[in-house]
Amino acid sequence: MKKVLLRVSVAALIFTVNAVSAGSLIPTTPSASEIKGADFMKSTTGTWAGKDGKTWYKLNTKDASLWMSTDGKKWEAAKDGMWQDKDGKWLKIVDKSLKWSADGGKTWSDVPEWKWQGGDGVWNKFDKDWTLWTAKA
C-alpha cells in the first residue's frame, strides 16, 4: 500500500512540474483559426496601434528599428525599441525574432506565430520578411 501511495505521489509531482514547465506561465496568443475573421491582409500602412490605441508604431524593415507617432504624421525612433499589446505585454525584436514579456521585461519568450493584438483590437503579425499583416478581431 505504501508503494502505491508513493508512486501516485511521485506521478502527481511529475505532472505538476510538467504542467508548469510546459508553458502555463508563458503568455499565449490564439492561433489563426481561433481569431474570429482571421483573414490576414497585408497592411497598407505598415502601422499598428499600441496598448492605449493612441500611439502608433511602424517598423523600418531595413534595420529593424521601431518608430512611434501620436498623430500618424510626425514619427520618432522608439528609444527602447518596445511597444505594448492590448493586454499590456511588452514586445520587442531581438536577434531577428519577436519576443514578449508579461512581467515588465524581466523574462522574454518567443511570440507564437509572431502575432499580437493592438490596442484598437486589430490582430497584427509579421511574416519572415517583417512585413506587417492585419486582421480585424
Q: Which single residue is written with the C-alpha cell 501620436?
A: 70
The confidence band for 11, taking pLDDT boundaries of 50, 70 and 90, is low
The answer to whether residue 61 scores a pLDDT higher than 50 is yes
Residue 59: CB partners within 8 Å, gap ≥ 6? 46, 65, 66, 67, 93, 126, 130, 132
Residue-level pLDDT at 1: 61
The answer to whether residue 90 scores a pLDDT higher than 50 is yes
- Taking alpha carbons only, the member of 62, 64, 63, 68 closest to residue 119 is 68
The answer to whether residue 33 scores a pLDDT higher than 80 is no
Residue-level pLDDT at 88: 95
Looking at the chain, list the stretches that DSSP marks H as alpha helix, in order from N- to C-terminal side.
Answer: 2-19
Q: Which single residue is written with the C-alpha cell 514578449?
A: 100
Mean pLDDT, range 78-105, rounded to an integer: 94
